[in-house]
A and B are shown apart, each in its own frame.
Chain A
Amino acid sequence: MQVPLWEHDTILSVERLTMRFGGLIAINELSFKAARGHITAVIGPNGAGKTTVFNCITGFYKPTEGRLVLYHGKPGSDLLTPLTDGATPDISDQQGRVFLLERLPDYLVAQKARVARTFQNIRLFSGMTVLENLLVAQHNHLMRASGWTLKGILGLKSYRQAEAAAIAKARQWLERIHLTARADDAAGALPYGDQRRLEIARAMCSDPQLLCLDEPAAGLNPKESGELNALLRGIRAEGLTSILLIEHDMSVVMEISDHVVVLDYGTKISDGTPDFVRNDPKVIAAYLGAEDEGEVKAIEAEVGV
C-alpha cells in the first residue's frame, strides 16, 4: 500500500492532543495529520469533540496536553525537536517554517500561522457591509500599508493603492460567491446561504494556509449545498489553501473530501480515504450506536456492506 499524502506532505499534524475541562475529557490523545492541498474532513457523532479540536487549533483553547504542528512549506524535520524544547512558537529554515499553534494567542494563529476559520453559527460582522467584512479580513496587510493609520488619515498614495488592491480582491471574491450586487448591503441582511458563503470568502480574504470550516453545510438546502461544494472544490483546485472541515452532511463529506478522520468520545476511531472510512465497521457502529462486534456484523448484513 502506498504511503498516503498526509504522511509526507503534511500541513497540520495533531499529536497526542488531550483537552480536559475539569473532570471531563473532551479529547483524549488524538493524533492525525492533514495533507497540504487536501480537503480533510473531521466527522463524528454529536459531542465527539470535533469543535473542541477546532478551538484548540485556532487558539481559543489551550490544550491540556499535546502538540499542534503547522507547516508552511517543507521545512526540515530536524527543526521540530529544538522548537519543542525551546520557548518560541515558530522556527524556520530555507524550505519553510514550523509553528506550534498551542503557543500562539488566537490573533497570531490567524496573523502569523495563517489559519482561518468559520463557525457553526455564522459570525459575520452583521452591522458592517458585505464589502467591509471582506476588508476586515485583510486588516493586517492594510494596517501596515496605512503606516499604522497615519498614512491612512493623510490619504497617501501608497495607502490608497493598497486599499484599492484590497477592494479589488474583495470584489473578486464577491464575484465568485455571486454577491457583487449586494456589496454595500449590511451583511446581516443577506439570506442564510449567502451568509455562509460570505463567511468562507471572508476567511479566504485573509490568505490562509489552512482553512477550518465548522459545519459549512449546516442548514443549507440542496441547491445551496451544491454551491458550497463548488466553492470548496474551487479553493482546492487553486491549491493555495488546505481545508479542514467538520461536517454532519455525509453527502458533502463523501463527495468533496480527500481524507476523513472519524472521532467518537474524543478519540479517533478511523482515519483514511472516504471509501475506507465508509466501510469501516467501527464507524458504522459509532454512527448507528452498536455495542459490540457481533451487533456490528448484524448491522452490516442489514445495510448490505
Chain B
Amino acid sequence: MAGQPSLGQGQGIVEYFAQQLINGVTLGSIYGLIAIGYTMVFGIIGMVNFAHGDLFMVSSFIALLVFLFVTTIVGITSLFITLTIVLLASMFLTSLINWVIEKSAYRPLRGSFRLAPLISAIGMSILLMNFIQVAQGARNKPLAPMLTDVIKIAGEGNFVVAISYKQIVIVAVTALLLAVFWYLVQRTPLGRAQRACEQDSRMAALLGINVDRTISITFVMGAALAAVAGTMYLVYYGVVNFADGFVPGVKAFTAAVLGGIGSLPGAVVGGLLIGLIETFWSAYFSIEYKDVAAFSILAVVLIFMPQGLLGKPEVEKV
C-alpha cells in the first residue's frame, strides 16, 4: 500500500484513517470490476464461472505484453496513449478469449446437469493458469513503476494523506466504466434483453431474443471488465504472476455473494466492502489475518442476510 505512515502518539489518527480509506477504495474498485463478471454470469445462466479469476490474471499478462510491445517496439512515449492502447487491447483480447471459452466449454453443456458447466469452468481455470505458467514462466513479471507521483491532500511531516496518480486513474477509470456499463444494462435494448433472459430465458426466446447470443455477450462484457481490473492491477502493483488470479478471483466472488449475487450494484458495493475490510484490518489489526477477517464478515452477513446486502429475495410464485 502506498504511503503507510507509522502511528505516532495519538497524532495523525484521522490522516491514517483517511489514507486507509483511499487505499481500500482503490483495491475495492478492482474487486468490484471482477465481481461484476461473476454476478452477471450467475444471473443469466446460474453458473459460478470459476475461470473468471484466472481470466483476470490472463488479462493482466496481456496488458503487460502489450505495454512492453507498445513502449519498446513501437516506441510510443506518451504514457496516456500507451495506457489507453494497453487497456483497449487487453479488453478486446480478454473478451475474445472468454467468448471462445463460453462457446467451446460451457455452451455445449448447457442442457446437461447443473454441475457440468461448473466442472468445465474449473477445468478452464486450470487450463488458463497452466498455459500462462508454461508460456510466461512461473516467476513474477515486473513492470517499471509508473504514475508514482502523489498528491498530498492533508497533514504535515510524517502524517500525510496522499493519493497517488495511480489510485486516481484506477478509481476514475472504474467509475467511468461502471457508469457506461450501468447505462448499457439499464437503458439499451441489449441490457433489457440481458435482464429478460436473466428472469425467464425461454420467454425471452419466444419474444424473438437470441438467448445464446445474449449469453455470449454477457461473457464478453464480464471479460472486458475483468480486463480493466487486470490492467489496473498491473498498474497498481507493477507485478503479475501466473497464480495471481486465484486470490483476487475468490475475493471478487465473495464480493459478489456479499453484495447479493445477481445484483450489479451489489457486486460493486461488495467489492468496495471487501477492499475496505481488508485494508482496515491490515492497518489496525494484523495483516496476516486480513483474509480471515474478510471471509468471517462474509459468513456473518450471510447468516443474517442470506440474499446478500442488495440481493433480491426469491419471488414467491402465487
B273 to chain A, nearest CB (A): 24
Residues of chain A contacted by B156 (CB below 8 angstroms): none
Contact assessment for B189 and A125 in the assembled complex, using a CB-CB cutoff below 8 Å: no
Query: Once bound together, how far apart are the Cα atoms of A117 and B211, in whole Å?
Result: 17
- Residues in A with CB closer than 8 Å to B199 are 125-128
How distant is A179 from chain B, measured CB to nearest CB, in Å? 18
A139 at the interface (CB under 8 A from B): yes
- CB of B207, distance to nearest CB on chain A (Å): 5
27 contacts between A and B (CB under 8 A): A60-B202, A106-B205, A107-B205, A107-B206, A107-B208, A107-B209, A107-B210, A111-B210, A116-B206, A123-B200, A125-B196, A126-B199, A127-B315, A128-B195, A132-B192, A132-B195, A135-B192, A136-B193, A136-B207, A136-B209, A137-B207, A139-B209, A143-B190, A152-B187, A152-B188, A153-B184, A188-B315
Please tell me if A210 contacts chain B, counting CB pairs below 8 Å: no
Report Cα–Cα, A182/B190, bound state, in Å. 24
- Per-residue CB contact flags for chain A residues 81-113 toward chain B (1 = under 8 Å, else 0) read 000000000000000000000000111111100
User: Which chain A positions have C-beta within 8 A of B209?
Assistant: 107, 136, 139-140
Residue of A at shortest CB range from B192? A136
Answer yes or no: A18 CB below 8 A from chain B CBs: no
The docked-state distance in angstroms from the alpha carbon of A297 to that of B193 is 56
Q: In the docked arrangement, what's the CA distance between A183 and B203, Å?
A: 20
Q: Chain B binding site: helix, strand, loop or mixed by DSSP?
A: helix
Contact among A126, A127, A152 for B189, CB-based, below 8 A: A152
A110 and B188 form a contact (CB under 8 A): no
B189 touches A142 (CB 8 A): yes
Q: How far is the CB of A34 from chain B (nearest CB, A)?
A: 19
Taking chain A's interface residues, is the majority helix, strand, or loop, or is none over half, making it mixed? helix
Contact B193 A143 (CB under 8 A): yes
B-binding residues in A (CB < 8 A): 58, 60, 105-111, 116-117, 119, 123, 125-128, 132, 135-137, 139-140, 142-143, 145-146, 148-149, 152-153, 188, 202-203, 206
Cα–Cα distance between A105 and B188 once the two chains are bound (Å)? 25
* B207 x A206 contact (CB < 8 A): yes
Query: Is B109 in the interface zone, CB < 8 Å from A?
Result: no
What chain A residues lie within 8 Å of B211 (beta carbons)?
107
Known: A119-B203, A136-B204; 5 extra A-B contacts, CB below 8 A, are: A110-B208, A123-B203, A139-B192, A149-B188, A202-B207
B312 at the interface (CB under 8 A from A): yes
- Sort A-B residue pairs by CB-CB distance and give the 6 closest, nearest first: A111-B208, A152-B188, A110-B208, A142-B189, A107-B205, A106-B205
Cα-based distance from A107 to B188 in the complex (angstroms): 20
Chain B residues numbered 163-207 whose CB sits less than 8 Å from any CB in chain A: 180, 183-184, 187-190, 192-193, 195-196, 199-200, 202-207
* Residues on B with beta carbons closer than 8 Å to the beta carbon of A128: 192, 195-196, 199
Minimal Cβ-Cβ distance residue in A for B318? A192
